Amino acid sequence: MIVRIWHGRTRRDRGDAYAAFLTQRAIPDYRSVPGNLDVSILRHDEREVSHFLTITRWINEDAIRGFAGRDILKAKYYPEDKDFLLEFELEVQHFEVVASWP
């Protein structure tokens, strides 16, 4: 199993709107891909910025390719992200799950 982690930042006053966008647009997109096991979106507010982490679990790299394309470390963005994000990080992080507890 592979965990894929993406990080993005918005202005804090746009945080609620971005959280709603992620819930309505991104989560259904992730969940529609065969091999996606789950999606979690975390938020941390800090002064004038809201940080978002999208954490997804996948059965293998081929499943991630079904979502991200050939370059599985490249971050995937939606056209609407330009209305929210302060920058566009180029890559995500992948971690192999070596232990898990239900």
Task: Give the chain's largest Cα–Cα span.
Answer: 39
Residue-by-residue DSSP string for 44-61: EEETTEEEEEEEEEESSH
- Helix ranges (DSSP H) in the chain: 15-21, 27-31, 61-68
Tens of pLDDT along the chain (102 residues) come to: 999 999 999 999 999 999 999 999 999 999 999 999 999 999 999 999 999 999 999 999 999 999 999 999 999 999 999 999 999 999 999 999 999 888
Is the whole model's pTM more than 0.85, yes or no?
yes
pLDDT, residue 49, reads 98
Domains and CATH numbers, the chain: 2-94 (3.30.70.100)
pLDDT, residue 101, reads 87
